[in-house]
Chain A
Amino acid sequence: MPDVASTKIPVTVLTGYLGAGKTTLLNRILSEPHGKKYAVVVNEFGEIGIDNDLVVGADEEVFEMNNGCICCTVRGDLIRIIDGLLRRKNDFDGIIIETTGLADPAPVAQTFFVDETVGAKTSLDAVVTVADAKWLKDRLKDAPEAKSQIAFADVILLNKTDLVTETELKDVEMRIRAINPFARIHRTQRSEIAIDKVLGQGAFDLDRIQAIDPDFLEGGHRHFHDEDMRSYSFSSDKPLDPDTFFPWIQNLTQTEGPNILRSKGILAFKDDPERFVFQGVHMILDGDHQRPWRADEPKLSRIVFIGRQLDAAALEKGFLGCVA
């Protein structure tokens, strides 16, 4: 129901390791003359230089849901804050949530799928991660949070590109690609970027999953010894059996959910004229029929996982075992 989805308030999650340029980006978004007004959930007051009565402080209260989902943590403070903000929903066009530099984006994202009220009235638009071009490689080695933020991102601002050489930039981009092949990477300086490249991305909107671009996936096949976090993609041109696929993916996310940060797929089922698309955050999966396959389009099923310490051979075997 796209007409219902479009009336939901979009929420952008802004992450990035300490000092990467997150607050600079936030201040840019708030100060540019785009005619839109955003409610902002921040961790620390005072960093934002803009006078805005819709800036709310968060308490970063992460808690586990008692729903048998072991990795299902949500942000209780966000549920309350969004509940409160929705009472003056005519005052703003979107919500931006800034997380701390050390935050794991998963509980923030999961909040939008687990809480019914929040999910009914808002939609997660994208996770935007600001990364420091000079220091990201080091952080990927020593800071698991930085790795999660890259793995989780839909949009990555590779910032402070003026402090590195082109070779270094290419190298860090390759590292990013190895972890996360589907994020859009933008090279920036002082977090300078057109706002439409950050907001209104619809990254979690099933209707907007167009393709899982094979070019992007190349990086996924590279192997870095220091990367326990990486992406895995598999495809098949033979139609899948939904009666095998769904139990498999459900079992997989139940057992490997803590290690799978994001997943995404476009699937061709046997005797089914429509594309089935899904996306997931840890154990939470969201999927639906999207549209009929076009005549000029190869009926290729493709699935991508971003995670840590995943057994690639077992994943491939499991996926290919779903061929009808």
Chain B
Amino acid sequence: MADTSTPSSLTSKLRPVDLGGAVVGLRFLGPLAAFVLGEGEVVLVGEEESRVRAHNGAVLSVAGDDKRILTGGDDGRVVATVADGTTQALFEQKGRWIDQVAAGPDGAIAFSAGKTAHFQPIKGDAKSLDLPSTVGGLAFAPKGTRLAVAHYGGVSLWFPNAVAKPERLEWKGSHRGVMWSPDMRFVVTTMQEAALHGWRLSDGGHMRMTGYPSRVTSMAFTTGGKFLATSGSSEAILWPFASKEGPMGKQPSMLAPRDVRVSAVAAHPRDEVIACGYEDGLVLMVRISDGAEILMRAPGGGAVSALAWRGDGGALAIGTEGGAGGLVAF
């Protein structure tokens, strides 16, 4: 297939940031981009740059909301970092790794160490849940206090404030990342195999999303939950979730094909647009309706490991495995 056209480019607007370490997570805290480095630092980039140490060791997972970034580390701590650079340890268990963290409504947090998932609200009692195997992923439902906990053999849906036993969604295999659809009708996991698995919660219907050449490590629902955009292939794969039955029996859309694999995706908060980062460091902005591409970042600096849109959609932050960062404001 011939490369039809050179995409239009916004690379002149890219402000490069030298981070000096692999980026493992990225979020905007209001106008500031917070780059989380694998080796324990958070770099806050606005008009100026500041750097804080959140962990004495590696960061294993990153979550957050628009006010704080949450990190779980191999130092056994869950740390919240806010825009002014203040860090606060919300939990600490020496000698354990905090494998997963999740940010919930009303400032509640969840995290896991090995086979135990923890829930810690602002007010009220902390709760914990023991799972049959190590927690691979944690996600709060978009509304209410309910957690999806991914593990070997499926997902447990846990109401930490209820007495009832968690509901178990079963599917053989190792489930690593987990995500709710914005309308809470579906739960989707990334698997150890090169596949996604989903459940329709109304009837427990299974959705197998396969065909990837490599493991999916990044996924995001587009605005309104119309599509689930994913990495793992040499183009962005978008599964249609708009209809009641989800993507079952439908083909995914494939956008922005290249000869290297997509390593990270991020959905624009308002428009039907995604940012798509590749293993060579290149980043494209892609319009879903017609596949139009705009080049945001040229190759270099290693694989794109994290992407985030500012809450108003007016800026995109980019982080790579090689420690290169970038900010594009429109």
Question: Which A residues lie at the B interface, using CB under 8 A?
Answer: 45, 53, 56, 59, 61, 63-67, 74, 76-77, 79-80, 84-85, 87-88, 90, 115-117
Partner of A87, one of B59, B95, B114, B115: B59
CA distance A219 to B242 in the complex (A): 66
For residue A67, which residues in chain B have a CB less than 8 angstroms away from its CB? 193
Please give the distance in Å from B303's CB to the nearest CB on chain A.
10
Say whether B99 faces chain A, with CB atoms less than 8 Å apart.
Answer: yes
Q: Is the CB of A66 within 8 A of B193?
A: yes
Please give the distance in Å from A261's CB to the nearest CB on chain B.
23
Say whether B22 faces chain A, with CB atoms less than 8 Å apart.
Answer: yes
Please give the distance in Å from A169's CB to the nearest CB on chain B.
41
Say whether B152 faces chain A, with CB atoms less than 8 Å apart.
Answer: yes
User: Which B14-71 residues have C-beta < 8 A from chain A?
Assistant: 22, 24, 38-39, 57-60
CA distance A79 to B133 in the complex (A): 14
CA distance A117 to B193 in the complex (A): 12
Please give the distance in Å from A65's CB to the nearest CB on chain B.
6
Q: Is the CB of B58 within 8 A of A79?
A: no
Chain A to chain B: the 5 pairs with minimum beta-carbon distance, closest first: A87-B38, A87-B58, A88-B58, A66-B173, A76-B174
Question: A65 and B192 in contact (CB under 8 A), knowing A84-B60, A87-B38?
Answer: yes
For residue B214, which residues in chain A have a CB less than 8 angstroms away from its CB? 116
Beyond A63-B192, A87-B58, 17 additional pairs, beta carbon < 8 A: A45-B95, A59-B114, A59-B133, A59-B134, A63-B152, A64-B172, A65-B192, A66-B172, A66-B193, A76-B134, A84-B60, A85-B58, A87-B38, A87-B59, A87-B60, A115-B192, A116-B215
From B172, B174, B191, name the one whose CB has the most chain A CB atoms within 10 angstroms: B174
User: Which B190-226 residues have C-beta < 8 A from chain A?
Assistant: 191-193, 195, 214-215
Question: A76 and B192 in contact (CB under 8 A), knowing A87-B39, A87-B59, A88-B57?
Answer: yes
Question: Which B residues lie at the A interface, using CB under 8 A?
Answer: 22, 24, 38-39, 57-60, 74, 95, 97, 99, 114-115, 133-134, 136, 152, 172-174, 191-193, 195, 214-215
CA distance A63 to B97 in the complex (A): 21
CA distance A79 to B174 in the complex (A): 11
Please give the distance in Å from B231's CB to the nearest CB on chain A.
12
Q: How many A-B contacts are there with CB distance less than 8 Å?
A: 61
Q: Is the CB of B152 within 8 A of A87?
A: no
Closest A residue by C-beta to B61: A84
Q: Is the CB of A80 within 8 A of B99?
A: yes
For residue B152, which residues in chain A have a CB less than 8 angstroms away from its CB? 61, 63, 76
CA distance A56 to B74 in the complex (A): 9
Q: Is the CB of A76 within 8 A of B133?
A: yes
For residue B22, which residues in chain A have a CB less than 8 angstroms away from its CB? 87
CA distance A88 to B73 in the complex (A): 11
CA distance A64 to B191 in the complex (A): 12
CA distance A117 to B215 in the complex (A): 9
Q: Is the CB of B134 within 8 A of A77?
A: yes
Q: Is the CB of B192 within 8 A of A80?
A: no
Partner of A61, one of B24, B57, B95, B134: B134
Please give the distance in Å from B28's CB to the nearest CB on chain A.
22
A sample of 23 cross-chain residue pairs with beta-carbon separation below 8 angstroms, ordered by A number, consists of A53-B57, A56-B74, A56-B97, A61-B134, A65-B173, A66-B172, A66-B173, A66-B191, A66-B195, A74-B192, A76-B134, A76-B152, A77-B134, A79-B192, A80-B134, A84-B58, A85-B58, A87-B22, A87-B24, A87-B74, A88-B38, A88-B57, A115-B192
For residue A53, which residues in chain B have a CB less than 8 angstroms away from its CB? 57
Please give the distance in Å from A47's CB to the nearest CB on chain B.
14
Q: Is the CB of B38 within 8 A of A63?
A: no
From A45, A61, A65, A79, name the one whose CB has the most chain B CB atoms within 10 angstroms: A61
Please give the distance in Å from A69's CB to the nearest CB on chain B.
11
CA distance A204 to B9 in the complex (A): 45
CA distance A115 to B195 in the complex (A): 13
For residue A84, which residues in chain B have a CB less than 8 angstroms away from its CB? 58, 60, 74, 97, 99
Please give the distance in Å from A142's CB to the nearest CB on chain B.
30
Please give the distance in Å from B288's CB to the nearest CB on chain A.
28
From B60, B74, B214, name the one whose CB has the most chain A CB atoms within 10 angstroms: B74
Closest A residue by C-beta to B39: A88
CA distance A117 to B74 in the complex (A): 19
CA distance A88 to B191 in the complex (A): 24
Closest B residue by C-beta to A53: B57
Please give the distance in Å from A87's CB to the nearest CB on chain B.
4
Q: Is the CB of A63 within 8 A of B74?
A: no
For residue A56, which residues in chain B have a CB less than 8 angstroms away from its CB? 74, 97
Please give the distance in Å from B196's CB to the nearest CB on chain A.
13
CA distance A253 to B164 in the complex (A): 47
CA distance A56 to B134 in the complex (A): 14
Please give the distance in Å from A32's CB to the nearest CB on chain B.
25
For residue B74, which residues in chain A have a CB less than 8 angstroms away from its CB? 56, 84, 87-88
For residue A87, which residues in chain B have a CB less than 8 angstroms away from its CB? 22, 24, 38-39, 58-60, 74
CA distance A80 to B193 in the complex (A): 14
Closest B residue by C-beta to A59: B134
For residue B99, which residues in chain A have a CB less than 8 angstroms away from its CB? 80, 84
For residue B195, which residues in chain A have a CB less than 8 angstroms away from its CB? 66
For residue B215, which residues in chain A have a CB less than 8 angstroms away from its CB? 115-117
Please give the distance in Å from A284's CB to the nearest CB on chain B.
15
Closest B residue by C-beta to A65: B193
Closest B residue by C-beta to A81: B97
For residue B58, which residues in chain A have a CB less than 8 angstroms away from its CB? 84-85, 87-88
CA distance A63 to B191 in the complex (A): 12
CA distance A77 to B95 in the complex (A): 16
